[in-house]
Amino acid sequence: MELKNTYNHKFIDGGVCAARGFKASGMYCGIKENPTKKNDICLVVSDKICNAAAVYTQNKVKGAPILVTKKNLEKTGGKAIAVIANSKNANTCNADGEEKAYRMCGLAADVLGIKPEEVIVASTGVIGQILPIEPVERAVKPLADSLSYTGNEAAATAIMTTDTVKKEVAVEFTASGKTCRLGGMAKGSGMIHPNMATTLNFITTDCAVSTEMLQKALSEVVKITYNCLSVDGDTSTNDMVCVMANGMAENAEIIAENEDYTAFRNALYEVMMNMTRMLAKDGEGATKLLECTVSGADNLDTAITVAKSVICSPLFKCAMFGSDANWGRILCAVGYADAEFDINKVNVSLSSAAGTIDVCKNGAGIDFSEEIAKTILSEDEIGINVSIGNGEISATAWGCDLTYDYVKINGDYRS
């Protein structure tokens, strides 16, 4: 899919290996028997210790890797060197879950010559099944031996579950006169809903940023990207976004909200926003990316709430699958959003590469061509534009259509 460039960045190749000093690897180890032998475990390692920040699922049920990673970052004061992650098994709701997650950290630390608490651990896949540790034990040495500054693709494919495509984005930007790079990889296709809305997301940068500013930027950007994403209304137990900064670009460390902080935050937004779009477009069974932009709000929270309300509506998602300009479902979702605005000032239009059509003015329907609307909605990327007043604030939420295949995929997910 075409990347959106909000801040005129230069997009580059490399994903988590785009930034200086980051190596990665991935391989099939057999956590779940798979005749296609798809990669199911990966390592990402920095040449230097990194400042690190993370945000996690808000589900009360949290995977053991989430709990262990939080404890590790607390113990190190926000420092990390490596990430070890697996797919096919979430290591969640298991009595020995934390023991296995700590074991994964220890295995990676031993082979890399670092401390176990300097390892971020993550898992994704089936919930409630015991994670077999033996495949991980066998894989760690080959993973370390195959680490490469061009190993990003092997790592990005290793975290995929029902994803149909790998998801990577990287950009260049400038901080204190130095060229910096920031890149990431993400996975997610189902069990995706706001409040940490994806599964696994890893972002690396060679920009020098303090742990405090790293956490601030991540928390700000996740609110307007991943937390505005919904595929199916289910918030995963294992959602995580982590950012690691090794400072190898040699810029003056960003320790306050200044011009360099803005440049870093904008680069982080560019990468996370585009990965959010990728996650939405690759929703389980999806045929269309839906992008709802709400404008005219008095504040950001109102704009976000209304946009998410539309994107999360199952009836609206079904209508988009059928290319049906049933704008009443949009207005219905706008109306039950938990936000204050005048419904009589709401305007709605639908857009795509095939054009734009107005379907609602001042909270009421207007005449429009169903044929033209059908043509517009038959594209694979659809814009839903909602104006709710005269305010100056806008926000965007992302999702996908709801199809027959979504039910098929989730009807035999464990098979």
Q: What is the largest CA-CA distance in the chain?
A: 69
Q: Phi first, then psi: what are they for 33, rounded to 5°?
A: -60, 125
In eight-state DSSP terms, residue 69 is H
**Enclosing H/E stretch for 242:** strand 240-245
Catalytic residue among 198, 211, 225, 237: 198
Pull the structure tokens for residue 2.
Answer: 């075409």
With contact defined as beta carbons under 8 Å apart, do 168 and 11 qualify? no
Of 35, 106, 118, residue with least CA distance to 73 = 118
Distance CA 415, CA 55 (A): 31
198: annotated active-site residue: yes
Determine the Cα–Cα distance for residues 238 and 66; give it in Å rounded to an integer.
7
Give how far Cα 83 sits from Cα of 44, 65, 163, Å: 5, 11, 20
CA nearest to 173, candidates 244, 277, 269: 269
Active-site positions read: 198
